[in-house]
């Protein structure tokens, strides 16, 4: 053994200077959880204001800042980095690699995130307040009418983009180049597959987002007229560019979640994943389709009818590969020896609620119907079903599933189950009524509403407080596990778990697979 393979350094420099994928994964995970709590706190402010009709707690302008920052922080600060953290921890262990392909760049990808979010959050204290134009930052709200802090918002987005691009290049290089001998593409665990495809999406669309915010920057400071009709540009151009990024972005968020669920459901069904190859092809199809559906977010801007029709049919097509996935998960459970530990509960919660979110997505894809749903709480309900019950539930499942492997200690199962049920019930109390108020016409992003929406909004707010509180239980459970959980030493923590990460000791040593393993023939996937 060379001198490169000692244990971790001590003190703060271990974390600042690390090149170890496990350290970096841990930092990503903790950072994203901190952002989850911050974004969640903003959500609580929103729900507190909406608890009753009329102006209650905050100024309308501040309310808008809260909705904007809530969305930005949850998407870019909580969900995306959490899955990057998971990728860092798991991909090298799953494919039998000693580390990520480019370890120093890996560390850089992480460390530019905290200052970028610090810069974003600091806009709250700037003159004119934080950005208040919604997480989609449509022009001209984000150009002509933007507060001066928009400059720092733009640069924060640039840095997040740089981080994401470097992170995905690292993942692509790792998966394409670092697989252990015998780990062919079609033997890779599905989590690795979904992340590989996600990384391609990121490399393709984060630069487009950078282009969009750069045009904003030029419009604000240099008098260009990309998004101003007076000079021959068009605000709708902004929406096209934004959603060319934004639609693949929602798959960037959900595909790794699909990967997680595809690892966990087989483990607790004690059966291999049903239809492995079709899962891979479905993921690739979803990724491809994501590039040609962007304008379904823009049905009401006055597109030509041909455009409406094209984007409507293309969007509906996505239901096919997504349906393949849902049926494969259900078929995996069919006649399996099921058990319902916390990770499995969250996965089943994911399966039910994500499917519901998918169905409302199908409703929204119908262009003529969307004219009624557009920009209502129905949309808010839809995307929280896929973002929270989809991405966040699967992320939570992942933490419960792999935590024992990471730290060699078992979490408290009854507390985990309580966390699931409180989350599940709180989530549904929050967002299910929003379908109804949305269909009845309550617009999103407003601090006040008509009286007939009062009851459902109060329910939503109570549900949100319950859901929010349950995350503190999660935090407690995780910390308690790391500090004083019951020790586990089995390599295979779960009897049904398959894959290379379950062949290394528990807790996973600081360096794994310095020598590539021989990949066992069925490789846990097929």
Active site members: 70, 99, 135, 163-164, 247, 249, 251, 262, 296-297, 322, 325, 444
Is the Cβ–Cβ distance between 251 and 198 less than 8 Å? yes
Segment contacting another protein (CB under 8 A): 25-33, 59-67, 107-115, 484-492? 107-115
**Helix, coil or strand: residue 352:** helix
Instruction: Select from 41, 48, 51, 103 the one that contacts another protein (CB under 8 A).
Output: 103
Quickly tell me which residue has 């021989």 as its tokens: 518
Number of residues that bind another protein (CB under 8 A): 96
175 versus 260: smaller Cβ distance to another protein: 175
Q: How far is the CB of 422 from another protein (least distance, A)?
A: 38
Instruction: Select from 231, 323, 505, 509 the one that contacts another protein (CB under 8 A).
Output: 231
Distance in angstroms (rounded) separating the CA atoms of residues 415 and 398: 16
Is position 7 an interface residue for another protein (rule: CB under 8 A)?
Answer: no
Distance in angstroms (rounded) separating the CA atoms of residues 361 and 136: 18
Is position 221 an interface residue for another protein (rule: CB under 8 A)?
Answer: yes
Is the Cβ–Cβ distance between 467 and 427 less than 8 Å? yes
Q: How far is the CB of 250 from another protein (least distance, A)?
A: 18
Instruction: Select from 30, 61, 134, 234 the one that contacts another protein (CB under 8 A).
Output: 234
Instruction: Select from 30, 51, 108, 135 the one that contacts another protein (CB under 8 A).
Output: 108
Instruction: Select from 73, 78, 80, 101 the one that contacts another protein (CB under 8 A).
Output: 101
Q: How far is the CB of 15 from another protein (least distance, A)?
A: 10
Terminus-to-terminus CA distance in the chain, angstroms?
Answer: 34
Is position 518 an interface residue for another protein (rule: CB under 8 A)?
Answer: yes
Instruction: Select from 37, 41, 136, 225 the one that contacts another protein (CB under 8 A).
Output: 225
Helix spans in 50-128 (H): 60-72, 80-95, 103-111, 113-122
Other beta carbons within 10 Å of 185: 12
Is the Cβ–Cβ distance between 102 and 186 less than 8 Å? no
Residues 21-60 close enough to bind another protein by CB under 8 A: none
The two tokens of residue 276 are 């492995």
225 versus 278: smaller Cβ distance to another protein: 225
Is position 116 an interface residue for another protein (rule: CB under 8 A)?
Answer: yes
Is the Cβ–Cβ distance between 336 and 368 less than 8 Å? no
409 DSSP assignment: E
Sign of CA dihedral 60, 61, 64, 65: negative
The DSSP secondary structure of 297-332, one letter per residue, reads G-GGG---HHHHHHHHHHHHHTHHHHHHHHHHHHHH
Residues 288-307 close enough to bind another protein by CB under 8 A: 302, 304-305
Residues 142-181 close enough to bind another protein by CB under 8 A: 143-145, 148, 151-152, 154-155, 158-159, 162, 165, 168-170, 172-174, 176-178, 181
Is position 97 an interface residue for another protein (rule: CB under 8 A)?
Answer: yes
Is position 272 an interface residue for another protein (rule: CB under 8 A)?
Answer: no
The two tokens of residue 140 are 């001209």
Is the Cβ–Cβ distance between 366 and 312 less than 8 Å? yes
Is position 124 an interface residue for another protein (rule: CB under 8 A)?
Answer: no
Is position 330 an interface residue for another protein (rule: CB under 8 A)?
Answer: no
Q: How many residues does the chain have?
A: 526
The two tokens of residue 391 are 């991405």
Segment contacting another protein (CB under 8 A): 15-23, 35-43, 364-372, 410-418? 15-23
Is position 99 an interface residue for another protein (rule: CB under 8 A)?
Answer: yes
The two tokens of residue 306 are 């041909």
Segment contacting another protein (CB under 8 A): 212-220, 370-378, 392-400, 433-441? 212-220
Q: Using N-to-C axis directions, what is the helix angle for 319-333 and 276-289, rounded to 10°? A: 160
65 versus 123: smaller Cβ distance to another protein: 123
Is position 206 an interface residue for another protein (rule: CB under 8 A)?
Answer: yes
101 versus 312: smaller Cβ distance to another protein: 101
Strand 486-487 versus strand 409-410 pairing type: antiparallel
Is position 210 an interface residue for another protein (rule: CB under 8 A)?
Answer: yes
Is position 368 an interface residue for another protein (rule: CB under 8 A)?
Answer: no
The two tokens of residue 57 are 């707690």
Is the Cβ–Cβ distance between 150 and 235 less than 8 Å? no
């Amino acid at each position: 053994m060379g001198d490169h393979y000692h244990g971790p350094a001590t003190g703060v420099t271990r974390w600042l200077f690390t090149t170890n994928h496990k350290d970096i994964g841990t930092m990503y995970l903790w950072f994203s959880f901190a952002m989850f709590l911050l974004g969640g706190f903003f959500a609580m402010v929103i729900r507190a204001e909406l608890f009753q009709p009329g102006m209650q707690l905050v100024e309308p302008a501040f309310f808008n800042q809260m909705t904007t920052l809530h969305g930005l922080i949850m998407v870019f600060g909580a969900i995306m980095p959490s899955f990057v953290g998971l990728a860092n921890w798991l991909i090298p262990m799953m494919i039998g690699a000693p580390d990520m392909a480019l370890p120093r760049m890996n560390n850089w990808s992480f460390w530019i995130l905290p200052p970028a979010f610090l810069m974003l959050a600091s806009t709250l204290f700037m003159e004119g307040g934080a950005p208040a134009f919604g997480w989609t930052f449509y022009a001209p709200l984000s150009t002509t009418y933007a507060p001066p802090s928009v400059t720092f918002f733009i640069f924060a987005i640039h840095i997040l983009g740089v981080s994401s691009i470097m992170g995905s290049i690292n993942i692509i290089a790792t998966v394409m180049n670092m697989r252990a001998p015998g780990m062919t593409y079609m033997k890779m665990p599905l989590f690795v597959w979904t992340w590989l495809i996600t990384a391609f999406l990121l490399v393709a669309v984060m630069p487009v987002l950078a282009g969009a915010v750069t045009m904003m920057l030029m419009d604000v400071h240099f008098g260009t007229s990309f998004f101003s009709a007076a000079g021959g540009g068009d605000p709708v151009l902004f929406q096209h560019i934004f959603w060319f990024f934004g639609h693949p972005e929602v798959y960037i968020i959900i595909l790794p979640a699909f990967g997680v669920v595809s690892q966990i459901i087989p483990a607790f069904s004690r059966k291999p994943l049903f239809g492995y190859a079709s899962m891979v092809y479905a993921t690739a199809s979803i990724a491809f389709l994501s590039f040609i559906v962007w304008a379904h977010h823009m049905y009401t801007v006055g597109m030509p009818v041909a455009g409406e029709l094209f984007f409507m049919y293309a969007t509906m097509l996505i239901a096919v590969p997504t349906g393949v996935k849902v049926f494969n998960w259900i078929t995996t459970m069919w006649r399996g020896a099921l058990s319902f530990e916390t990770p499995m509960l969250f996965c089943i919660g994911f399966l039910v609620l994500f499917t519901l979110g998918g169905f409302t997505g199908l409703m929204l894809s119908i262009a003529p119907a969307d004219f009624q749903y557009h920009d209502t709480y129905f949309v808010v309900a839809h995307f929280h079903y896929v973002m929270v019950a989809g991405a966040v539930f699967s992320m939570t499942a992942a933490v419960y599933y792999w935590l024992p492997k990471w730290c060699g200690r078992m979490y408290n199962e009854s507390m985990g189950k309580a966390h699931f049920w409180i989350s599940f019930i709180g989530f549904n109390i929050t967002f299910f009524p929003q379908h109804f108020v949305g269909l009845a016409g309550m617009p999103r992003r407003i601090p006040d509403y008509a009286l007939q929406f009062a009851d459902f909004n109060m329910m939503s707010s109570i549900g949100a407080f319950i859901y929010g509180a349950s995350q503190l239980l999660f935090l407690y459970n995780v910390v308690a596990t790391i500090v004083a959980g019951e020790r586990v030493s089995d390599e295979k923590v779960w009897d049904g778990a398959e894959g290379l990460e379950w062949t290394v000791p528990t807790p996973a040593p600081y360096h794994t697979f310095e020598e590539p393993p021989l990949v066992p023939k069925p490789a846990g996937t097929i």
